[in-house]
Chains A and B, each alone.
Chain A
Amino acid sequence: MLSSFFVLSPRGDTVIQREYRFNSSEEKGGEVVVVKDLKACIEAFHRKVRFWADQDTNLQSLTKNNDDFYQPKQDAPPVFSLHGETYIHIKRGGLIFACSTPYNVSPGSTLELLNKIAKVFKDYCGTLSEEAIRKNFILLYELLDEMLDYGYPQVTSTEGLKMYVHNTPIPTAQVATESVKMGGGKTKSANSVHKPVSVGGQRGKEGNKNEIFVDILERLNVLFSPNGYVLNSSIDGNIQMKSYLAGNPELRLALNEDLVVGGKEEEGYGKVVLDDLNFNECVNLAEFDDSRTLTFYPPDGEFVLLNYRITNDFRVPFKMLPAVTELSSNKLEVLLTLRNEIPQANYGANVQVRVPVPRNTGTVFCEPVGGEGCEQNAEYLANERKVLWTIKKFPGSTEMTIKIKLSLDTACTSQTRKEIGPVSMNFEIPMFNVSNLQVRYLRIAEGGGKAPFRWVRYVTQSSSYVCRM
């Protein structure tokens, strides 16, 4: 039971706001008093989110400290309390979707509700941006009124809302899509389709497309020790879809037949072994245990069909091998070699490597060694105290190296050495997945007319890909 819902632009302007019980005036001792003013509360909320400061008294000395190197750079938690009201918010596409409540609600469900609202907004506008929301505000209020009544969620699914919604979306001019990263950067190809779901009478027109986008996306978390060993590794994977199928047919999707769930590596040598996985509510699992087949009616718009998690060892796509040499008391040399271990046919795209350097760094000289013919660049970002090395396209089964020379303002101590690193790496590998999880087939379950266009893509991304020094 929410008392208000609102959407804020990156600057903090209220773009959408709806009160449910917020401004309820109350009788106290025969006198009617207005308890709160939503506008003022939203402002207070926004200040709090922007300048989050910790209340922990034990850490006060830290904030008093003049040394800004160790200043906590804190993010406001998604759930916090302000003047007796709990505010819960998420950030999507640079916007803040937030709600408030004085009740002891379930934070998990409330966040899922905000996610759902953001998803529905995106499905109906085609994209999630301040411009899209401002242009479509009437439609969004209409949606919101059906989704929330008196602060309680009602109809929240994109397709369920269609019959109640009568405004039509106003498309926004699409700016360079690359800069707009949505859904926490979790999506790729399905995300590049920024068209709104069809509403009401438009259905037939849009239905001609009859296509479905399927992404198998794996995000890697790998932690290397300074000598290149893998200390910790895991894969967070999901299968994401965006359906524009005519007539909403039932679909069958088959995964690797030998998929092992919840097993240890020994049991499934050579097989795909998942620790665990979960499914969208729409999925029927009747055949999953026997044939690893899922059946479902795809909901409209973008959705995650399933999530999986792998912690067993896997072949990491890139190895990082750092070496630090002390040339003199105030000169250090860092040599970092990246070894690309994926097949030659594949490549790493948009590789970015960040090497933090010590506080007392004076000047930095950095230059890639070898790797001619690759579009690459190394630069020192002084205000971040980091060397940024970018490689546009990193071919499979090759090696690249960067040499960084640091001259320090003061002599090198063990503390200085500790401040080098950890090296973090961002990348994307198109048409490749590490776990070998495959979509064997995706078809319309029963007869169902002509086959739709299926766009199946495999993508591997870095999540937290880090090497300690």
Chain B
Amino acid sequence: MHSGASGVFKGPTTTSSMPQPSGPVSAPPPTGDSYFTDARRGEVSELRALLKTFPVERSLTRRRDVIKKVIAYMTLGIDVSRLFTEMILAVEDRDLVIKKMVYLYLTTYAQNSPDLAQMCTNTLQKDTSNDDPIIRGLALRSLCSLRVESMVEYVLDPLRRSLGDSNAYVRKTAVMGVLKLHDLNPELVTELTETVRGMVGDVDTMVVVNVIRTLNEIKRKEGGMQVDRKEMLGLLNRIQEFDEFGLSEVLGLLLKYKPQGKEEMFAIMNLLDPVLRTSNSGSVLGTIRCFLKLTSSIPGMGEMVCQRVKPPVLTLVAGGTPELVYVLLTHLKHLAQISPETFSPDYRQLYVRYNEPSHVKYLKVEVLGLLANEENGLDIITELSEYVSDPDGKLGVLAVRAISEVGCSDRCLLSGGQGGIGEVVVEKLVELTGLDVPHVSSAAASCLKDVARKHPDMRGLIAPVLPRCARAITEEKGLASTVWMLGEMGEMITEAPYVLERMVDGDGWEGYGGEVKISLLTAAVKLFFKRPGEMQGILGKCLVKSSADATSQELHDRALLYYRLLAEGGEQAEAVVAGTDQNVDRARKFAEEQDSETFKRLRDEFNTLSIVYSQEEKHWCQEEFRGFGGRTDVSEGEVKVVQDAFGGSVVIEPTSASLPPPQQQQQVGEPAAAAGDTYEDLLGFASDEPASVTVAPPSPPAPSVSLNPNFTLDGGSFQSMWQSLPEACSSLSPSTGSHTPNSVEDALRKLSILTMASGETAGEIKLFLYCQEEGGGGVYLVQVLIDKNCEPRVASVTVKTKGGKEPDTVMGMVHNGMGNVGF
């Protein structure tokens, strides 16, 4: 049996060497249910015999070994659930090692035999009041992990008691136990959930972290655990006590928290700044996510965040394990899209290393393409060209694509034209089409097509090589692209018709793929309009061959379409087929490039799997598992209500000096007020001026216009006017007094500003008002929003007008009017 200790996986072959008090084991009793006792069944029976000796065995080592064998079988995937009855007896053992092993067994198999599992509850329950906190915690954890619904009632009492245990280990286990029970029977734990909610201030951080996790799951439908300001700041102030995984839970809560103004926001960021100096990628990425979230409403801050986090991210990339480097690079790629200029100077650190895993290389090549600008463009193209003929074919193709990406990049467009990066890219791609490596030349041709669409002025460089490409390129995609370009630029190539003729008329036709044939057909039609004399015959042959081709339905249909169009008359056909792509705006993005919306939403899912998959959670994660990535959709929903009231989006212009910044409430999508100098030192951003923060002049105390007190407007026309009119002016002002919708209405009615609708919620007072200039002049629509969460309260006023010339004056009147009730 001693040899069994070192070779537990070899099976119980050495039983004979061991003293057997209760008779021989070599002949296991045949089990009733099967005559065909296979080897494993035999082994399990042997185990059962061994277990029978367990209670009388004195030697601790031997007792341990017996149980260990059972566990060994279990982990090998052999079903030892038949030994349940015997194992339950062993739970009475005093030895902690044995206890733990038996618990492990029980939690694995209790689901299979819920009735038997009841037998062990007594012992487990008893152990939850043991003197040793470790045993208390252990028993409780096992009790909660049995996953047998009928046993929930036995668990509730010990669980309730353990939540108030003096030992943190027991408490943290109990908190997790509440979650386990919740998943079995949600109704039973509602009361316990309240207790757990009260433990968020526990002295032990492990308990706190489990509280956050438990409540996030239990209250998933309401957006997870919600904390108020005091709790949030309390957690942040002891942030150093949390370990890396606890930290990420606290940071998850922070995503849902809206700081009260900029000073608090910067204070929080300063508090978290030291995390960026640690070597834990999870913590650093989690902190970056919080930075992005906190600053998301301030234009230009994303870039500053990128500048702050760039050195730590690059250090993690340089020294991380290959797995972490992969994940870090996907996030780096995202950051580089937020602020390419920040990362551009460090392009060399993303050069591919020969000994990296392929997926890391692929990502680096993609990121390199993104980082290209005027200064480093040439270097990057040269470097990428080195990867083109890499033995890893995919790396080669990706490198070609990255080169064309540089050519199409807006950031390299400034020096387009002669000698610019665009030209270098085209020359490089043209050179690559001549390379004797099929996948590279094909990829280069496909990419040339994209560059040609983006830079029509480069066609002169591309056109001359097309006949050669049509001969040399063998892969379908590349050849189809070449033929497409022949149709587009055929007028610049003398021999273009003959190239097409050779392809249409030659023996090659049968061998081409569908994509090539369709391109040929389209190219023949396009070129026909440019050079009808030479092309007529070729087009005819092409139409005949295409419509007769049985391999591709699309080809057949398209041939018929062209035929009928041409039969209608040349001009109409030309308008349809040739299109108007001659004047593509260089700055304009192609449809396939326009995924900026997705990109913006992905920013909310930074530091989650969504970034690795480049897809929003809703596209890949099953509904029942969503909502744990820290997305704050719930609060966004609230904001949407505000904005949808009359369809117009409310934008609050900052009014600089008059506004005390700390009290300002942030809302998603609002550019916030900024006192310029608060940016400077807090994050150590040194010389970076806040670029796009606009400061509106304070609204002047204006004379009033005379208004028509008897003007009326019905709700429908108000709504349609509100939706259609542009905003004339808006402002923010603080207030000190208390107010109700009625008091504001009354005050403004005295000034002939009348109420259309008003309402009050827990968070705000909202009024829609209107008025008309005396004598049937311009009509003004006014929205007043008073945010009650701020202290002092802040009122934002938005004015729209139809035909009115004095919106600022009306706004002044509104402010004056409200001033009488405490503003």
Nearest Cβ on chain A to B230's Cβ, whole angstroms? 26
Decide yes or no whether B166 CB sits under 8 A from chain A.
Answer: no
- CB-defined contacts of B348 to chain A, threshold 8 Å: 232, 234, 311
A167-B97, A223-B351 are known contacts. Are A62 and B625 too (CB-CB below 8 A)? no
Q: Digit string of B92-103 for contact with A (CB within 8 Å is 1, else 0)?
A: 000011001100
Complex interface residues of chain A between 322 and 380 (CB less than 8 A to chain B):
356
Decide yes or no whether B436 CB sits under 8 A from chain A.
Answer: yes
Decide yes or no whether B286 CB sits under 8 A from chain A.
Answer: yes
Give the docked Cα–Cα distance between A155 and B169 (Å): 10
Interface pair B622/A84, CB less than 8 Å apart: yes
- CB-defined contacts of A247 to chain B, threshold 8 Å: none
A106-B608, A170-B6 are known contacts. Are A61 and B71 too (CB-CB below 8 A)? no
Decide yes or no whether A150 CB sits under 8 A from chain B.
Answer: yes
Nearest Cβ on chain A to B214's Cβ, whole angstroms? 9
Interface pair A79/B327, CB less than 8 Å apart: yes
- CB-defined contacts of A163 to chain B, threshold 8 Å: 134
Nearest Cβ on chain B to A229's Cβ, whole angstroms? 13
Decide yes or no whether B442 CB sits under 8 A from chain A.
Answer: yes
A104-B610, A106-B282, A281-B280 are known contacts. Are A78 and B326 too (CB-CB below 8 A)? yes
Decide yes or no whether A269 CB sits under 8 A from chain B.
Answer: no
A71-B393, A109-B248, A466-B354 are known contacts. Are A285 and B326 too (CB-CB below 8 A)? no
Interface pair B439/A108, CB less than 8 Å apart: no
Contact of A308 among B101, B104, B315, B389 (CB under 8 A): B315
- Find the residue from A109, A141, A466 having the highest chain B CB count within 10 A: A109
- CB-defined contacts of B392 to chain A, threshold 8 Å: 70, 72-74
Nearest Cβ on chain B to A226's Cβ, whole angstroms? 11
- Find the residue from A70, A90, A106 having the highest chain B CB count within 10 A: A106
Give the docked Cα–Cα distance between A73 and B355 (Å): 12
Q: Digit string of A91-121 for contact with B (CB within 8 Å is 1, else 0)?
A: 1000000000011111111111111000000
Decide yes or no whether A10 CB sits under 8 A from chain B.
Answer: no
Tell me which of B316-324, B703-711, B757-765 binds A.
Answer: B316-324
Complex interface residues of chain A between 439 and 469 (CB less than 8 A to chain B):
463-464, 466, 468
- CB-defined contacts of B326 to chain A, threshold 8 Å: 77-79
Give the docked Cα–Cα distance between A111 and B169 (Å): 25
Nearest Cβ on chain B to A39's Cβ, whole angstroms? 6
- CB-defined contacts of A167 to chain B, threshold 8 Å: 97
- CB-defined contacts of A413 to chain B, threshold 8 Å: 436
Decide yes or no whether B349 CB sits under 8 A from chain A.
Answer: yes
Give the docked Cα–Cα distance between A57 and B72 (Å): 45
Tell me which of A130-138, A190-198, A393-401 binds B.
Answer: A130-138
Decide yes or no whether A17 CB sits under 8 A from chain B.
Answer: yes
Interface pair B6/A232, CB less than 8 Å apart: no
- CB-defined contacts of B323 to chain A, threshold 8 Å: 78, 89-91, 111, 114
Contact of A104 among B180, B349, B629 (CB under 8 A): B629
- CB-defined contacts of B609 to chain A, threshold 8 Å: 79, 81, 86, 104-107
- CB-defined contacts of A104 to chain B, threshold 8 Å: 605, 608-610, 617, 621, 625-626, 628-629
Interface pair A275/B311, CB less than 8 Å apart: yes
- CB-defined contacts of A309 to chain B, threshold 8 Å: 314-315, 318-319
Decide yes or no whether B176 CB sits under 8 A from chain A.
Answer: yes
From B388, which residue of chain A is reached at the shortest CB distance?
A418
Interface pair B351/A232, CB less than 8 Å apart: yes
Complex interface residues of chain A between 57 and 74 (CB less than 8 A to chain B):
58-59, 61-62, 65, 67, 69-74
Contact of B389 among A75, A184, A236, A419 (CB under 8 A): A419
- Find the residue from B173, B180, B327, B629 having the highest chain A CB count within 10 A: B327
Give the docked Cα–Cα distance between A14 and B392 (Å): 31
Decide yes or no whether A56 CB sits under 8 A from chain B.
Answer: yes
Give the docked Cα–Cα distance between A72 and B361 (Å): 12
Decide yes or no whether B85 CB sits under 8 A from chain A.
Answer: no
Decide yes or no whether B730 CB sits under 8 A from chain A.
Answer: no
Q: Digit string of A259-288 for contact with B (CB within 8 Å is 1, else 0)?
A: 000100000000000011111110001000
- CB-defined contacts of A145 to chain B, threshold 8 Å: 100, 104, 141
Decide yes or no whether B285 CB sits under 8 A from chain A.
Answer: yes
Interface pair B172/A276, CB less than 8 Å apart: no
Decide yes or no whether A154 CB sits under 8 A from chain B.
Answer: yes
A54-B394, A59-B397 are known contacts. Are A105 and B176 too (CB-CB below 8 A)? no
From B327, which residue of chain A is reached at the shortest CB distance?
A107
A17-B75, A103-B625 are known contacts. Are A262 and B311 too (CB-CB below 8 A)? yes
- Find the residue from A21, A76, A108, A114 having the highest chain B CB count within 10 A: A108
Complex interface residues of chain B between 235 and 281 (CB less than 8 A to chain A):
243-245, 248, 274, 277-281
Decide yes or no whether B359 CB sits under 8 A from chain A.
Answer: yes
Decide yes or no whether A258 CB sits under 8 A from chain B.
Answer: no
From A172, which residue of chain B is reached at the shortest CB distance?
B6
Q: Digit string of B275-296 for contact with A (CB within 8 Å is 1, else 0)?
A: 0011111111110000000000
Give the docked Cα–Cα distance between A72 and B439 (Å): 12
Decide yes or no whether A153 CB sits under 8 A from chain B.
Answer: yes
Give the docked Cα–Cα distance between A133 and B519 (Å): 60
Contact of A166 among B71, B97, B328, B439 (CB under 8 A): B97
Q: Digit string of B429-465 for contact with A (CB within 8 Å is 1, else 0)?
A: 0000001111100100000000000000000000000
Decide yes or no whether A156 CB sits under 8 A from chain B.
Answer: yes
- CB-defined contacts of B621 to chain A, threshold 8 Å: 102-104
Give the docked Cα–Cα distance between A14 and B78 (Å): 12
From B286, which residue of chain A is reached at the shortest CB distance?
A106
Contact of B244 among A71, A183, A281, A424 (CB under 8 A): A281
Could you list 23 examples of A-B contacts with CB < 8 Å? A24-B183, A39-B77, A58-B477, A65-B439, A67-B438, A77-B359, A81-B613, A90-B323, A103-B628, A105-B628, A109-B244, A109-B285, A111-B321, A112-B324, A113-B282, A149-B141, A150-B145, A156-B245, A184-B321, A234-B349, A262-B311, A281-B279, A415-B437
- In addition to A107-B607, A111-B327, 18 A-B residue pairs with Cβ atoms within 8 Å of each other are A1-B628, A62-B393, A70-B392, A75-B357, A79-B609, A79-B612, A104-B629, A107-B608, A109-B285, A112-B244, A138-B101, A184-B321, A276-B312, A278-B278, A278-B279, A306-B279, A415-B389, A466-B353
Which residue numbers of B lie inside 8 Å of A, CB to CB? Answer: 5-6, 8-9, 68, 71-72, 75, 77, 96-97, 100-101, 104, 134, 141, 145, 169, 172-173, 176, 179-180, 183, 206, 210, 213, 217, 243-245, 248, 274, 277-286, 311-312, 314-316, 318-319, 321-324, 326-328, 330-331, 348-349, 351, 353-359, 386, 389, 391-397, 435-439, 442, 475-477, 605, 607-613, 617, 620-622, 625-626, 628-629
| Chain A to chain B: the 7 pairs with minimum beta-carbon distance, closest first | A109-B282, A464-B353, A104-B629, A70-B393, A78-B323, A276-B311, A307-B319
